[in-house]
């Protein structure tokens, strides 16, 4: 992002990946008690923030999760959580 | 850690990514304290803890939306500038936010430029509100207006007395507001006969004494010339001639003239004092002046008029 220097940007990306991974882990652990609305919010947020931190893949997965939550399609949500987890681990 | 002396800005967003971006942005602006809130309830609690200059708020948040938060905040703090953060799909909500009193909205993701622009806009708004609350005016704009005001440019010089009135107004405004420290520093006072004889003269301290007789003759000649050539466009109720930084202001009586050499700007009160002094001199000495033969001994006490006038005009100066 042009707004920040390289060091700031690297720090921000690292913090973002760490935070998103923690959040995803927590959601996956509590998936059975989660509401579709909370899952939709998670998908909506990472859809917006992924690209903001230079990770367009996260934005795409977030859009899919948000859409699946609206459709109450748990299989598709879980499938995308796995994809997201793999991606985040590759960046840790 | 926040500096209690700096303005506080609160940013409310349930998305960690946005809060973190804001936090990094504000590292560039140490002149503000950024307080982050994770949700509207967190924001409402933090809003009670200290005074804030402005608020950024997401719209789409669980439990309580940013619009509900905006409504509550505006009821409690109607003067607080609030900028909503929204996605492209929330445009309808942005319109609602304006109705609820939001100052503006920013599309997500927020950038350094858009956030900074919003802060500057809020600062400008608050400054304007402060001026209105103080019943004040923008002095810079007012100074520009007065300094650029010109009866000539406005075509007022042809209307005679109106021009004089406007000129007085401009002079008063300038002396009070534009150059309050430069009001009429007197260098010399000359009381002259109509023929140019110097009846009395007074010089301020540190002003070089010159040949008063030569000056008296010069004043009369210059004044005669100026009365014909310049008086129609003078900006003063008295005749005023400028030589470089020096001005000579003349008051004309039935038998005599009073010339005041000064720098800076002569205020209206001083002009009135000049006229009053000359009138007092002529009334009190009318019997002598009516048939005066040029004998200065007959008007020996005339210096007192100049001393009084000098005191009136230059009372605040050395």
Give chain B's residues under pLDDT 50.
Answer: 159-162, 176-183, 229-236, 316-318
* Residue A10 placed within a domain: yes
Contacts of A5 in chain B (CB under 8 A): none
> Which of A3, A49, A51 has its CB closest to that of B111?
A3
* Residue A68 placed within a domain: yes
Please tell me which residue, B287 or A3, carries the higher pLDDT value: B287
Contacts of A19 in chain B (CB under 8 A): 16-17, 20
Could you tell me how many CB contacts below 8 A there are between chain A and chain B? 46
Position A77 scores a pLDDT of 96
Q: How far is A79 from chain B (nearest CA, A)?
A: 23
Q: How far apart are CA A43 and CA A72, in angstroms?
A: 13
Please report the DSSP string for B6-57 in residue order: SPEEEEE-S-HHHHHHHHHHHTT-TTSEEEEESSHHHHHHHHHHS--SEEEE
User: Is B20 an interface residue toward A (CB < 8 Å)?
Assistant: yes
Please tell me which residue, B95 or A92, carries the higher pLDDT value: A92
Mutation pick from A26, A40, A52 vs chain B, by most beta carbons of B within 10 Å, is A52
User: Is B23 an interface residue toward A (CB < 8 Å)?
Assistant: no
pLDDT in tens, B90-129: 667 877 888 889 998 888 888 899 999 999 999 999 988 8
ipTM value for the complex = 0.83
- CATH top class, domain B8-133: alpha beta
Match 């930084």 to its residue by tokens.
B245
Q: What domain count does chain A have? A: 1
Q: How far apart are CA B168 and CA B161, in angstroms?
A: 11
Question: Pick from A86, A89, A19: which is nearest to B15 by CA?
Answer: A19
Question: Pick from B108, B61, B59, B53: which is nearest to B84 by CA?
Answer: B59
Contacts of A49 in chain B (CB under 8 A): 15, 17-18, 109
* B306 Cβ neighbours under 8 A, 6+ residues apart: B189, B191, B200, B201, B202, B277
Please tell me which residue, B87 or A48, carries the higher pLDDT value: A48
Cβ–Cβ < 8 Å for A34, A72 = no
Q: How far apart are CA A9 and CA B217, in angstroms?
A: 82
10 Å Cβ neighbour count for B78? 8
Position B260 scores a pLDDT of 84
Q: Look at B14 and A38 and tell me if their CB atoms are within 8 Å.
A: no
Position A63 scores a pLDDT of 94
User: Is B225 an interface residue toward A (CB < 8 Å)?
Assistant: no
Residue A60: domain span: 6-18+37-91
Contacts of A56 in chain B (CB under 8 A): none
The domain made up of B182-313 has a fold known as Beta-Lactamase (3.30.450)
Position B221 scores a pLDDT of 58
* Residue A30 placed within a domain: no
The torsion angles phi and psi of B262, rounded to 5 degrees, stand at -150, 165
B270 is written with which tokens? 């001083």
> Which of A4, A12, A44 has its CB closest to that of B60?
A44
For B191, the enclosing helix (H) or strand (E) is: strand B185-193
pTM of the model: 0.54
10 Å Cβ neighbour count for B40? 24
* Residue A28 placed within a domain: no
* Residue A31 placed within a domain: no
Cβ–Cβ < 8 Å for A83, A43 = no
The structural domains of chain B, with segments of one domain joined by +, span 8-133, 137-178, 182-313
Match 């858009």 to its residue by tokens.
B114
* Residue A87 placed within a domain: yes
Residues facing residue B106 across a β-bridge: B85
B37 is written with which tokens? 């809130």
Mutation pick from B13, B14, B15, B38 vs chain A, by most beta carbons of A within 10 Å, is B15
Mutation pick from B14, B17, B112 vs chain A, by most beta carbons of A within 10 Å, is B17
Question: Pick from A29, A70, A63: which is nearest to A49 by CA?
Answer: A63
Position A88 scores a pLDDT of 96
């Amino acid at each position: 992002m042009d707004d920040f220097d390289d060091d700031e940007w690297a720090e921000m990306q690292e913090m973002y990946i760490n935070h998103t991974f923690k959040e995803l882990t927590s959601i996956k652990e509590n998936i059975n008690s989660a509401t579709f609305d909370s899952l939709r919010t998670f998908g909506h947020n990472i859809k917006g923030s992924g690209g903001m931190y230079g990770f367009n893949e996260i934005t795409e997965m977030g859009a899919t999760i948000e859409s699946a939550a609206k459709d109450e399609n748990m299989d598709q949500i879980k499938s995308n959580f796995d994809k997201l987890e793999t991606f985040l681990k590759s960046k840790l | 850690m926040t500096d209690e002396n700096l303005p506080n800005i609160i940013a409310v967003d349930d998305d960690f990514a946005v809060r973190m971006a804001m936090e990094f942005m504000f590292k560039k602006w140490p002149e503000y304290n950024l307080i982050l809130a994770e949700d509207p309830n967190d924001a409402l609690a933090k809003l009670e803890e200290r005074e804030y200059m402005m608020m950024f708020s997401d719209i789409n948040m669980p439990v309580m939306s940013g619009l509900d938060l905006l409504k509550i905040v505006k009821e409690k703090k109607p003067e607080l500038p609030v900028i909503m953060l929204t996605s492209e799909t929330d445009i309808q909500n942005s319109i609602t936010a304006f109705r609820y009193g939001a100052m503006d909205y920013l599309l997500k993701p927020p950038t350094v430029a858009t956030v900074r622009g919003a802060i500057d806009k809020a600062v400008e708004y608050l400054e304007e509100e402060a001026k209105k609350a103080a019943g004040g005016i923008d002095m810079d704009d007012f100074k520009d207006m007065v300094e650029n005001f010109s009866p000539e440019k406005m075509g007022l010089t042809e209307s005679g007395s109106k021009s004089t009135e406007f000129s007085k107004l401009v002079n008063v405004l300038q002396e009070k507001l534009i150059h309050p420290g430069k009001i009429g520093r007197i260098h010399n006072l000359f009381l002259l006969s109509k023929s140019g004889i110097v009846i009395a003269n007074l010089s301020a301290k540190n002003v070089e004494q010159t040949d008063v007789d030569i000056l008296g003759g010069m004043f009369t000649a210059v004044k005669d010339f100026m009365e014909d050539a310049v008086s129609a466009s003078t900006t003063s109720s008295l005749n005023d001639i400028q030589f470089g930084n020096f001005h000579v202001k003349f008051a004309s009586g039935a038998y005599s003239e009073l010339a005041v050499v000064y720098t800076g700007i002569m205020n209206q009160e001083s002009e009135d004092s000049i006229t009053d002094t000359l009138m007092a001199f002529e009334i009190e000495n009318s019997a002598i002046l009516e048939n005066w033969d040029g004998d200065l001994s007959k008007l020996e006490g005339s210096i007192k008029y100049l001393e009084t006038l000098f005191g009136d005009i230059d009372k605040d100066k050395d």
